[in-house]
């Protein structure tokens, strides 16, 4: 089965241009606005994470993006007592966000799902910056794939819309868990990398394995021409479907 054949068997209703989520990981609003203006219509979906949250302009920029018709992924990885997670998710849901992440146990995920409103909850499985040595250090006496599959099963049972997972595990996730789960894959590297992402795949590999969305940051942000880099990735995505 070709990449296009495999990708076309699920979630056909996701517009191709929305499958690329750009990680707007910058420290201030001027840098963020400059990138958004540069990227223009090459990016339709933005991830706003912790770095930009601390700029103090998180919701201001979020509204500006929504006013432009962009989709928003709030990647704040909530991890706290369930009542606090529920309160945070409830407040976040008032802003018309599409996705948000929770990086916690069953109680936290359940609380988030119950407070989500129309927002989709994504459970973080295993960070793509972690390899087996890191998982061992953290006390996980299983391999990354086993951990991802276990957390994905729990997320589905608890009502999460999807998971954040490396593209390396998506194929097994699709075959052993459920195609209903949205799969969002960070750690995408169009070329070889030497940064802190360890469990990485290319754009084509991610979608061939069954990803719904990919998150790309540095390969676009650090490119000499960010818009051209985004457009190249969009072309690669279109070829998969």
At residue 41, what are phi and psi to the nearest 5 degrees?
A: -85, 5
Active site residues: 77
Least confident of 57-66, 189-198, 212-221: 189-198
How many domains are there within the chain? 1
Nearest to 147 by CA among 129, 124, 171, 167: 124
Q: Which residues constitute the domain of residue 87?
A: 3-240
User: Sign of the C-alpha dihedral, residues 81, 151, 23, 121?
Assistant: negative
Nearest to 16 by CA among 51, 36, 45, 57: 45
pLDDT tens per residue, range 161-193: 999 988 888 888 888 776 788 999 988 866 544
User: Sign of the C-alpha dihedral, residues 187, 211, 71, 42?
Assistant: positive
> What tokens were used for 239?
């070829």
**What is the rounded average pLDDT of the residues 107-124?**
95
CATH number at residue 183: 3.20.20.70
Q: How many residues does the chain have?
A: 241
Q: Give Rg (Cα) of the chain.
A: 17
Kindly report the pTM of this predicted structure. 0.87
Determine if residue 139 is left, alpha or beta; phi over 0 gives left, psi from -120 to 50 gives alpha, anything else beta: left
Nearest to 53 by CA among 72, 28, 31: 28
């Amino acid at each position: 089965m070709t990449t296009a054949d495999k990708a076309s068997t699920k979630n056909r209703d996701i517009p191709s241009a929305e499958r690329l989520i750009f990680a707007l990981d910058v420290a201030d609003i001027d840098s963020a606005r400059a990138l958004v203006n540069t990227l223009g219509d090459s990016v339709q979906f933005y991830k706003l994470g912790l770095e930009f949250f601390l700029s103090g302009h998180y919701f201001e920029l979020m509204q500006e993006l929504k006013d432009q018709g962009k989709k928003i992924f709030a990647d704040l990885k909530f991890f706290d007592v369930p009542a606090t997670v529920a309160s945070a998710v409830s407040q976040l849901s008032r802003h018309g966000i599409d996705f948000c992440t929770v990086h916690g146990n069953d109680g936290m995920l359940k609380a988030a799902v119950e407070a989500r409103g129309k927002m989709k909850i994504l459970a973080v499985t295993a960070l793509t910056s972690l390899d087996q040595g890191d998982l061992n250090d953290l006390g996980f006496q299983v391999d990354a794939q086993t951990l991802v599959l276990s957390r994905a099963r729990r997320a589905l049972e608890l009502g999460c819309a999807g998971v954040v997972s490396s593209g390396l595990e998506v194929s097994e996730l699709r075959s052993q868990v459920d195609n209903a789960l949205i799969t969002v894959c960070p750690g995408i590297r169009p070329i070889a990398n030497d940064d802190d992402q360890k469990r990485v795949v290319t754009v084509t590999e991610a979608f061939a394995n069954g990803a719904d969305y990919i998150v790309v940051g540095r390969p676009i942000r650090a490119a000499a021409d960010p818009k051209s880099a985004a457009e190249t990735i969009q072309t690669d995505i279109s070829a998969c479907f």
